[in-house]
Amino acid sequence: MRHSDQDLRTLMRAAQGGDRAAYRAALAALADWLGGYFARRIAPAQVDDLVQETLLSVHRKRSSYDPDRPFFPWVAAIARYRWIDALRARARRPETSLEAEPPVASPEEPVLARLSLDQLIGHLPAPQARAITLTKVEGRSVAETARLTGQSESAVKVNVHRGLRKLAALVESE
């Protein structure tokens, strides 16, 4: 069941007063919403982990929600914050490849994720965009990417690293 902003405001107001049933209902509704939110932004295999991390953040920082204000802008900001963290974590591991990730659950998810990612990658300089597309989206190795792009291996690593950092900054400034 899809909850309205007003439903969740009411549930969170009750939760801040200590109502556990209301809190459980709010978190369950949030888990569903977050699943959809992250499905368009990150590799499907990572969605569950990110939903859990975000729910923990919501739990830890629930007092930062003011029930007099809309609920979804609050939770979307926290979700984006955790997403940026995930992007940064990937930027710190430029060697990581999607090859190691398990197969996706449904055919639409990677397409939507790719659409969202393509929009962001369009803002990067061409060498960074190409290096990220080949290593992070298509899952090629650094050596293979270097051969295909004519960049040295260390240039590929630097471009991936810088590109992912720039992506995180782009997302943050949205």
CA distances from 135 to 64, 99, 101 (A): 38, 9, 13
Segments in 99-151 forming alpha helices (H): 108-121, 126-132, 142-149
Q: Which is nearer to other proteins, 50 or 142 (CB)?
A: 50
Among 4, 36, 60, 99, binds other proteins (CB under 8 A): 60
- Considering only CA atoms, which of 134, 120, 127 is closest in space to residue 155? 127
**Which CB sits closer to other proteins, 81 or 138?**
81
State yes or no: residue 46 binds other proteins (CB under 8 A): no
Q: Which of residues 73-102 bind other proteins (CB under 8 A)?
A: 73-78, 80-81
Cα-based angle 27, 31, 32 (whole degrees, multiple of 5): 125
User: In whole angstroms, what is the distance from residue 73 CA to residue 2 CA?
Assistant: 16
Return the residue of 24, 92, 93, 147 that touches other proteins, per CB under 8 A: 24
Confirm if 125 and 86 have CB atoms less than 8 A apart: no
Q: Are 58 and 78 in contact (CB under 8 A)?
A: yes
Task: Kindly state whether residue 105 participates in binding other proteins, applying the rule CB under 8 A.
Answer: no
Q: Which of residues 133-172 bind other proteins (CB under 8 A)?
A: 172
Which of 26, 131 has the CB closer to other proteins?
A: 26
Among 66, 95, 101, 153, binds other proteins (CB under 8 A): 66
Residues in contact with other proteins by the rule CB under 8 A: 15-21, 23-24, 27-28, 31-32, 35, 48, 51-52, 55-57, 59-67, 69, 73-78, 80-81, 172
